[in-house]
Amino acid sequence: MSDVQFTAEAALNFGPANADHQVVLILNLGCPDSRQWYLNNRQALFFATDSGSIKLQLKFWNKPVADLANGNIANKFIDYSQPKAALAYIDAVYAQQNELNAAVDAIEFIKTNFKTSTTTEPATIAAIDTEVAHNQITSLPTVIFDDQIYAEDTLVPLTTLLDN
């Protein structure tokens, strides 16, 4: 797809704007596959951003699927204006994802366990939904590496993409 378009405004942004590679990750805090890919690649992602190799955008999509309902709620507590604090929240939620997904009251679970009340701006959520639809993203997780979309059967570790 040659017209892949994502904005930095509706993302957690890491790494220099002039990095060698542009990476956009579409994740969901309630999705076990998102958690697995993120945790397996987290160290490589942030080593590459810190070394200036990649410009990373993290976007959390509220995919309308019943199994992701609590993850969609958790996504709404990401503070996109505070990337470092948001990373701590993301790591904490992924560490307790099973409990989050089992929670009867996800909002209470989040407020109690993560001591947060900040919510994502509705405009940010709408922008992510628009970008996901425009770019025909249908699965979680999705990795966009230099405008090439990787998902499901084509999803590979970040190190594989960097080595090519």
Q: Which residues pair with 148 in a beta bridge?
A: 145
* Average pLDDT estimate for 119-133: 92
CATH code 3.40.50.2000 for 12-159:
no
Q: What is the pTM of this model?
A: 0.93
Q: Are 146 and 160 in contact (CB under 8 A)?
A: no
pLDDT value of position 28? 98
Q: Where are the domains of the chain?
A: 12-159
pLDDT per position as a tens digit, 19-57: 999 999 999 999 999 999 999 999 999 999 999 999 999
Structure tokens at 71: 């993850």
Residue 1 reports pLDDT greater than 70: no
